[in-house]
Amino acid sequence: MLFFIPREPDARERRVAATPETVGRLVEHEHAVAVEAGAGTEAAFTDEAFTAAGAQIVAAAAWDEADAVLTVGPIGPEIIEQLKTGCAAIGLLDPYSHQEEVKLLAKRGITSLALELVPRITRAQTMDALSSQASIAGYKAVLLAASRLGRYFPLLMTAAGTVPPSKVVIIGAGVAGLQAIATAKRLGAVVEVSDIRPAVKEQVQSLGGRYIEAPEAEAAEDEGGYAKEMGEDFLARQRELLARHIAAADVVITTAQVPGRPAPRIVSREMIEGMKPGSVVIDLAASSGGNCELTRADEEVNHDGVLILGPPNLAATMAHDASTLYARNILALVEHILDEGKLAIDAADDVQSGALLTHGGEIVNPSMRQLILGEAAAENQGSAGD
């Protein structure tokens, strides 16, 4: 097969979908790999390094020649039109926000696999790109907050007197939140954590964080390990509980997201107005609407002296390590579906059925099929596919 690694079309996307390490693995499997010139430059992977690993560097994008295309971000309509029928497209395709592209992938007969749909089960951990990238985002969020806060994070005892430690409140104890806890504790902050899933309490405490007990509610976690969308009554009680903790905080980092849904609004304008001037809010859910009412994606908002940042893609700011981990995730998925040198789709395999978005001219992921086509049309397509 010919694998193609493009230079990401989004100028703000510094990551790359393969590294010399993963290219070497594909070459060992006797595949050909074409890498667009400069694809890894922003992530500190040179064309020479890719060539040494066995790749061919191509000056122009080879969309129409590839048997499989590995990407970081979604593929636009103009690119999908160039892909040959039967080609495989694998990456973080963001299907919930790119439904027209999903329909076009099906129409063009492209087999697409979205890494954000990989199920969170034990044997798919090596393919879990959401976790590998979220961990980087959680780490970088703390560094960003520390760099913008006009205070020390740790307790300091000096000849001029004692400086108390900063207080950090982290909302959401998923992968990003847990990494944020660990990083803030390493820097010496006092860390409090809110999460709707009581099951994470021990993880929070093991990292040195103080768990803010959540209001009682029905199960807040779905079968895939993701947080569920909660009702307004629960969210109102959670906001009331959080208000006093946020008022005392120097830094608030929010990470709460629900796949395919707008981010839950947790931090209100009133909460921000109750914070001390000079405090910092980092909203990692900015790209899906934000957990904070005042967040503006990719902008800085100063509200009554409180700085609110909505960085949309923090993982890309650590492009080298983010690409290294992501490339391993995507290679693990590719190797999982390779059979005798070809991509062999097995709908009975739970990993493949979870990640598979389009195949054989149809939208095959059940949730995406129902979302895009509607319930009746989804049932008809499913029956036809069966």
Instruction: Clarify whether 148 is annotated catalytic.
Output: no
Q: Say if residues 323 and 301 touch (Cβ distance below 8 Å).
A: no
Tokens of 263: 């981010």
Catalytic residue among 25, 112, 131, 279: 131
Place of tokens 């890309």: 316
Catalytic residue among 7, 82, 120, 353: 120
Nearest to 115 by CA among 361, 325, 376: 325
Catalytic residue among 15, 96, 128, 197: 128
Give the rounded distance of the alpha carbon of 299 from its chain centre: 19
Catalytic residue among 99, 148, 226, 296: 226
Catalytic residue among 56, 97, 125, 205: 125
Count other C-beta atoms under 10 Å from residue 298's C-beta.
Answer: 12
371 burial (CB, 10 Å; 0-12 / 13-18 / 19+) is: middle
Instruction: Clarify whether 226 is annotated catalytic.
Output: yes
Residues with Cβ within 8 Å of 368's Cβ and at least 6 positions away in sequence, in order, are: 95, 96, 99, 102, 117, 357
User: What are the E-state strand segments in 92-208?
Assistant: 111-114, 156-158, 161-163, 167-171, 190-194
Instruction: Clarify whether 139 is annotated catalytic.
Output: no
Distance (Å, whole) CA 66 – CA 86: 10
Find residue 32's DSSP bridge partners: 2
Distance (Å, whole) CA 186 – CA 184: 5
Q: Say if residues 71 and 17 touch (Cβ distance below 8 Å).
A: yes
Just list the catalytic residues: 120, 125, 128, 131, 226
